[in-house]
A and B are shown apart, each in its own frame.
Chain A
């Protein structure tokens, strides 16, 4: 089993090494990076390229570790007992399996994506330490131990909202997806829009990386925003010439709403555009 990237996902060399290490050593891998650099996509692509089933567990602020294992529905059972339901005799009827259980049961090695682990409570990763390490857990209600037949490939994404505990990190591989350089970015765009015009890309990239460099910008546009923007440019059939427009009056790129996602950034950009326009006029 080896991950080599797919036709729809450009994986850098270091990412491949990290993923393959995690696959071979059967240990979780934590993927961090700016929002929109393809962290969640990675799990789907790994699953696709290995032909494995993907099980996703989206974490919310209210998610508890136990929910990933199983949940015992005591209230329903209590109600059933009052109604004299036959089901009540077997406690198994009231245990619903969580994502981890599903992953452990799978007869082919699945990919388990634990998405945005940082959203949960700060103790959440600690509660999963043993389960992810040994890939087994104990069900108190039935007294059985659930052990993974095939240790799933665990991919964990984090957006850095909370720091993860050291003990948890020590058991995982780690990869930080850095923001792609223009060359990699071009590959990525080609994968998404093979028919896009070359000159449009060049001009769009220039604007995109320029915006990212603007000092003081609050939310830097990322890969997914670039992809969206290019899509808009293509559907609107914007010509590369317009992007190349040096006319100072049109310094704000067309359809900028896809790139700048907050009001302050738009204001900032407008102000900078205004200043550079004035400077240009002075030069002339």
Chain B
């Protein structure tokens, strides 16, 4: 009887397998929860079917949809749109001109009506999951560039608190994997970049070799070997300041993950594009910078190079000498980048801006070209691909 629920979960792309479903059936069969209490069933199925807290929120939504009406609720939880709020928001963000256009469309009330309808439709289509009002092309909201992102219409605002079901509370909503990108995931992705080698002090017993040697010589001959270590060496370049301020958090996360993952890692900061100097401390960047030439000479070519930056600047900053916004650069950024790429065979660029916008930013396309297409989005998937590329 729960097979539909199972397929609903599958359809919502939750990673559930038959094995887990059977496990749930077995648990039901053995009466793990005595009563036919829907709450207990919710807890049981959650424990059996969801194996990662990232999916808890999605599960709650599907559960709510699949078993709608099963619970004896004390009155339907109504979803009211906090109209006042939206109006306020609108007044805050819309220009007078836009407000006039709203008027011409029938005024606020009409618009709210449409919005309500749309919300209702969306709810039916996506298992009540559409907490966010879409900004899609058909919505009158989207057309004006008025993006109501951040306005949450959902349980939180609903009046009848008593009737909110456990799963409808959606307590795990901020654990959804699409939203959060923690260091753990980055670490797992960075793990791709591993090359183990035994180097250094001999600290471990080499059992195979000891046995072989002992049998050969006729007395115990203990052989040792060095510990296995990741011998990947990495140079990390972070773009700082300006447009990168919006991406500070993810860069911090990447940095901390990289630092624990790679034993041999050097990091440097630059602004917008690589020129004749980089620095290691943002507070003292003007006094204590490092000449790029020194850097290129110091680190051998087996280092892997990772650039992190949004590559968002005026194209002149890359292609022309003197293009830098901060100082007079004798040689163009492109020259410096090419110089670096000629030495380090394995180099990639990680871009925090979503991939679909790259083509529209001409500077990003130029850099992508300089890096022979080795530009990857700064997402788990992107890092994963980037590490594969570096491993080549």
Chain A residues within CB distance 8 Å of chain B: 13-14, 17-18, 20-21, 24-25, 27, 29-30, 32, 74-75, 78-79, 82, 122, 160-164, 166, 169-176, 178
Complex Cα–Cα for A48 and B85 (A)? 52
The interface size bin for chain B is 35 or more
For residue B5, CB closer than 8 A to chain A, the reply is: no
Those 7 A-B pairs whose CB atoms lie nearest each other, nearest first: A18-B47, A169-B51, A17-B43, A14-B43, A176-B53, A21-B32, A174-B51
Report B250 CB to chain A, min CB distance, Å. 14
Report B194 CB to chain A, min CB distance, Å. 10
Report A179 CB to chain B, min CB distance, Å. 9
Among the 9-residue stretches B17-25, B69-77, B122-130, the one with 4 or more Cβ atoms under 8 Å from chain A is B17-25
Report A259 CB to chain B, min CB distance, Å. 22
Task: Flag if A161 contacts B19 (CB, 8 Å).
Answer: no
Give the residue name and chain of the B residue nearest to A17 (CB).
B43
Task: Flag if A170 contacts B51 (CB, 8 Å).
Answer: yes
Complex Cα–Cα for A13 and B188 (A)? 33
Report A30 CB to chain B, min CB distance, Å. 7
With A17-B40, A21-B48, A160-B184 in contact, is A82–B32 under 8 Å at CB? no
Q: A20-B32, A25-B23, A169-B51 are in contact. List 9 more A-B contacts (CB 8 A).
A: A17-B44, A17-B47, A21-B32, A29-B47, A78-B214, A160-B184, A161-B184, A166-B15, A178-B172
For residue B27, CB closer than 8 A to chain A, the reply is: yes
For residue B105, CB closer than 8 A to chain A, the reply is: no
Task: Flag if A13 contacts B19 (CB, 8 Å).
Answer: no
Complex Cα–Cα for A218 and B53 (A)? 20
Complex Cα–Cα for A122 and B184 (A)? 12
For residue B171, CB closer than 8 A to chain A, the reply is: yes
Complex Cα–Cα for A166 and B17 (A)? 10
Partner of A170, one of B19, B47, B187: B19
CB neighbours of A174 from chain B (8 A): 47-48, 50-52
Complex Cα–Cα for A173 and B23 (A)? 9
Task: Flag if B53 contacts A79 (CB, 8 Å).
Answer: no
Give the residue name and chain of the B residue nearest to A176 (CB).
B53
For residue B56, CB closer than 8 A to chain A, the reply is: yes
Task: Flag if B17 contacts A25 (CB, 8 Å).
Answer: no
Complex Cα–Cα for A27 and B210 (A)? 41
With A20-B32, A172-B51 in contact, is A163–B184 under 8 Å at CB? yes
Complex Cα–Cα for A117 and B187 (A)? 16
CB neighbours of A27 from chain B (8 A): 23
Complex Cα–Cα for A162 and B186 (A)? 10
Complex Cα–Cα for A46 and B220 (A)? 48
For residue B236, CB closer than 8 A to chain A, the reply is: no
Partner of B32, one of A25, A29, A161, A178: A25
Task: Flag if B207 contacts A25 (CB, 8 Å).
Answer: no
CB neighbours of A75 from chain B (8 A): 205, 207, 210
Task: Flag if B56 contacts A176 (CB, 8 Å).
Answer: yes
Report A215 CB to chain B, min CB distance, Å. 11
Task: Flag if A175 contacts B47 (CB, 8 Å).
Answer: yes
> B351-379 vs A: 1/0 string, CB under 8 Å?
00000000000000000000000000000
For residue B290, CB closer than 8 A to chain A, the reply is: no
Complex Cα–Cα for A191 and B356 (A)? 54
CB neighbours of B210 from chain A (8 A): 75
Report A85 CB to chain B, min CB distance, Å. 14
Task: Flag if B53 contacts A173 (CB, 8 Å).
Answer: no
Give the residue name and chain of the B residue nearest to A169 (CB).
B51
Complex Cα–Cα for A18 and B56 (A)? 14
Task: Flag if B17 contacts A14 (CB, 8 Å).
Answer: no
Give the residue name and chain of the B residue nearest to A27 (CB).
B23
* Max chain B C-beta neighbours (<10 A), residue from A25, A79, A169, A173: A173
CB neighbours of B188 from chain A (8 A): 122, 162-163
Sample of 13 A–B contacts (CB below 8 Å):
A14-B46, A21-B47, A24-B27, A32-B53, A75-B207, A82-B220, A163-B188, A164-B51, A170-B17, A171-B19, A173-B47, A173-B48, A176-B175
Report B241 CB to chain A, min CB distance, Å. 19
CB neighbours of B40 from chain A (8 A): 13, 17
CB neighbours of B26 from chain A (8 A): 25
For residue B211, CB closer than 8 A to chain A, the reply is: yes
Task: Flag if B43 contacts A178 (CB, 8 Å).
Answer: no
Report B42 CB to chain A, min CB distance, Å. 8
Complex Cα–Cα for A27 and B27 (A)? 11
> B6-34 vs A: 1/0 string, CB under 8 Å?
00000000010101100100110010110
Task: Flag if B20 contacts A170 (CB, 8 Å).
Answer: yes
For residue B79, CB closer than 8 A to chain A, the reply is: no
Complex Cα–Cα for A122 and B171 (A)? 30
Which residues 210-228 of B have a CB within 8 angstroms of A?
A: 210-211, 214, 219-220
CB neighbours of A14 from chain B (8 A): 43, 46-47
Task: Flag if B27 contacts A25 (CB, 8 Å).
Answer: yes
With A74-B207, A162-B184 in contact, is A25–B43 under 8 Å at CB? no
Give the residue name and chain of the B residue nearest to A179 (CB).
B171
Task: Flag if B27 contacts A21 (CB, 8 Å).
Answer: yes
Report A273 CB to chain B, min CB distance, Å. 23
Complex Cα–Cα for A178 and B53 (A)? 9
Task: Flag if A17 contacts B17 (CB, 8 Å).
Answer: no
Report A133 CB to chain B, min CB distance, Å. 10
Task: Flag if A79 contacts B220 (CB, 8 Å).
Answer: yes
Complex Cα–Cα for A122 and B261 (A)? 13
For residue B39, CB closer than 8 A to chain A, the reply is: yes
* Max chain A C-beta neighbours (<10 A), residue from B46, B47, B56, B210: B47
CB neighbours of B23 from chain A (8 A): 25, 27, 173
CB neighbours of B33 from chain A (8 A): 17, 20
